[in-house]
Amino acid sequence: MDAEFHSGFAAIIGVPNVGKSTLLNRMLGQKISITSKKPQTTRNRILGIVHRPFCQIVFIDTPGIHKAHKMLNVRIVDVALTALGDADLILMVSDVSESDPESDRFLIDKLKQQNKPVVLALNKIDLIKKPLLLTLIERWRRAFPFEAVIPVSAKNGFQVDELINAMAAILPKGPPYFPEESLTDLPQRFIAAEMVREKAIRLTGQEIPYSVAVTIESFKAPAKGRLRRIDATIHVERNSHKGIIIGKKGSKLKQIGTSARKDIEQMLGERVFLKLFVHVQKNWSRDTKALRKFGY
């Protein structure tokens, strides 16, 4: 083991929809965390492991931190804040194209409660002009004593390696925590459920994301020469949502299934038969038992 090898845990935080999961997937070189343009897509703690010859960074991708009122959102924010205590450093991600001063102040206040080094990734720099970027860098440097401020584009990979290098230099020297082939500690069954939920969110309207949960009922290893069969249930809160998910003559559900199946097959490296069901569970996002059942 190289005497200069660095390793540790880094919590990725930010307000909703700044590109945290996209950035994690880019650093990993593989998709494990689902993404969409709709806030609160990430609901659970997602662990992703980045391997380099000089370091291993164990990232904890967290839900967007925001002022929560609904029971589900309170649980989501609790997940994010709890992750900060487990980290050696904090990677804060900000969307330079849509900065919200009030949300930024809320997040900075949370950072000030932590005695941890913080690196700031200014994401989506491909969407703004350089003079504005320089102004934002200066504003952020005045707001908090970041260890480093790195402009990046998670979408096209610009300066992502520089970001990894900056974090590696801050982490303590030490051996890797996980074998080199490990990308996450999450079971494939969990990631498959998340991939179904991602497609349900992406392919439906604005009201649907907050009322969708997915459970995997069957995840059978395939017999020789056969497809792996996965049965998944999409849970919604209202009959009207069920109609949206299913679509005319089942067209939307088929679209969700086809799109999710392709991602799951890529993850597993094998062909899959994916069967989707839709179940109405009234007001599950406000039901403590249902939240526990769905893993929140």
Q: What are 191-210's pLDDT values in tens digits?
A: 899 889 889 988 887 666 56
- Does the domain made of 6-170 have the CATH classification 3.40.190.10? no
CATH superfamily entry for domain 188-293: K homology (KH) domain (3.30.300.20)
The token duo for 94 is 């900000």
Please indicate, yes or no, whether the overall pTM of this predicted structure exceeds 0.85: no
Tokens at 83, concatenated: 């992750």
Backbone φ, ψ for residue 142 (5° rounding): -75, -25
pLDDT, position 44: 55
Which helix or strand (DSSP H or E) is residue 221 part of? none
Window from 36-40, 163-167, 176-180 with minimum mean pLDDT: 36-40
> How does strand 6-13 pair with strand 89-95?
parallel
> What 3 state SS string does 166-214 have?
HHHHHCCECCCCCCCCCCCCCCHHHHHHHHHHHHHHHCCCCCCHHHCEE
139 pLDDT higher than 70: yes
Task: Let me know: does 288 contact 71? Beta carbons within 8 Å.
Answer: yes
What confidence tier does 234 reach under pLDDT thresholds 50, 70, 90?
A: very high
Domain ranges (residues) in the chain = 6-170, 188-293
